[in-house]
Amino acid sequence: MNNNQQSETPLNLIFVETELETIPASIQHHPQVKSYAEKRGRPATKLILDSTYHHHAMRKLQDWKRRGRPDIIHRNLLLALDSWANQQRLLSIYIHTRNDEIITVNPIVRLPKHYQRFLGLFEQLFEKRSITTETETLLKIRKQSLKELLTSLPKESYLLSETGRPTSLIPFYKDHRSKPIVIGIGAFPHDDFRIAQSLFKEFISVSPFSYTSSTITAKVLCLYEESKNQQ
């Protein structure tokens, strides 16, 4: 990283209320879950909950219609890790899980593009609590709530929401060029935030239209790059 890059203002990106969790013990004996676990050759409670494979079993769970969507964070992470901001080491990535824990993502991690390999990697993460090489910690999960994470990060925190203040991102980034900011993006399929509303400084909206989480992620990162290139 050169001196100019070091002086750039970093972006802290939190994927909020990600529907990422292991299979709850309450449904581990459901026939659909048992069959899936047998095929995978692992205990059910060490596998990632996925509505594609566990749809019928999930009907017994609270909020079941929005749960079991690790595919959303998979797409978002691929976008974030491949972004200009990450390549320039201007991006810090955090994942807030269903059970209010935090995963820290090392910018050098090479995430599997194949979805099944991604599931396997994150199953290892939930079991071992970290994924490491000989010299680096690539992924780490810790018992830290979203509220605690935000307390440890810069105070300028903004949650993207359709109901937020309409905001054009390039002027927004330029207005915040002298200080690091935190942006939260919901990583769940539908409905509203469960706990994040009161934790961020402000809600902002970057479009009058409803987009998927991955489209918003791409917009946030592409316009961040464009704002830097206009300086």
Q: Which band of pLDDT confidence, cut at 50, 70 and 90, is reported for residue 6?
A: very low
What are the pLDDT digits (tens) for 78-122?
Answer: 999 999 999 999 999 999 999 999 999 999 999 999 999 999 999
**Number of other CB atoms surrounding residue 7 within 10 Å:** 7
**Which domains occur in the chain, in start order?**
3-20+69-229 (3.40.1280.10), 25-66 (no CATH)
Q: Which band of pLDDT confidence, cut at 50, 70 and 90, is reported for residue 1?
A: very low
**What's residue 229's pLDDT?**
87
Answer positive or negative: Cα dihedral of 111, 114, 119, 124. Answer: negative
Q: Check: CB of residue 13 under 8 Å from CB of residue 92.
A: yes
- Record the tokens describing residue 97, joined without a space: 């899980």
Q: Which band of pLDDT confidence, cut at 50, 70 and 90, is reported for residue 191?
A: confident
d(CA 60, CA 51) in angstroms, rounded, equals 12
What integer is the mean pLDDT of 15-42? 98
If we measure between CA atoms, which residue out of 159, 184, 187, 161 comes closest to residue 73? Answer: 187
**Number of other CB atoms surrounding residue 209 within 10 Å:** 8
